[in-house]
Amino acid sequence: MLLGALFAACARGEAPEAAQVDFGTVMAEIGRRFELLGRASLAGRYELADYQLGELEEAFTEALPHASPPKEGHPEVLPPLVSGFVQTAIPDLRAAIAAHDRATIDAAFARTATLCNRCHAESGHGFIEVPTAAGRSVPSTEPVAP
């Protein structure tokens, strides 16, 4: 009975053309995972941090290349910046988390956030600010400095 319902649901889910996900929707997930990666690292929950990194990597390598780019700003800059991020930030974070060392992770977190922010600035979304220190909300909702 339950199995039958599950099969029916699966069959319905197999639409011939999967709906294209929005770049911004994937980014909202990336923001949440990066925030959790930072919070987990601060708490010494390295396995959880590494898990979040794996999910972050999937979002960049599997979801973003098929996502519909934003209509505003400069979407033409996105593809090379996505691959640059995957080639530099992901291995940097992976090595830092594997080291189980706070200072190493803090430095990799800051370098990664700088890359996040560089793409936001270059694509016309500089107001979406990723904090360079772990443990804060992503994106930053702190009051703007006067």
92 belongs to the binding site for ligand HEC (CB under 6 A)? no
- For residue 17, the minimal CB distance to ligand HEC (Å) is 21
Smallest CA-to-CA distance from 84 within 106, 54, 61, 53 is with 61
27 belongs to the binding site for ligand HEC (CB under 6 A)? yes
CB 55 within 8 A of CB 33: yes
- For residue 6, the minimal CB distance to ligand HEC (Å) is 32
38 belongs to the binding site for ligand HEC (CB under 6 A)? no
39 belongs to the binding site for ligand HEC (CB under 6 A)? no
Binding ligand HEC by CB under 6 A: which of 21, 48, 63, 81? 81
CB 140 within 8 A of CB 127: no
123 belongs to the binding site for ligand HEC (CB under 6 A)? yes
CA 26 to chain centre: 7
CA 78 to chain centre: 14
CB within 8 Å of 6: residues ≥ 6 apart: none
CB 70 within 8 A of CB 28: no
- For residue 82, the minimal CB distance to ligand HEC (Å) is 4
Binding ligand HEC by CB under 6 A: which of 39, 57, 85, 129? 85
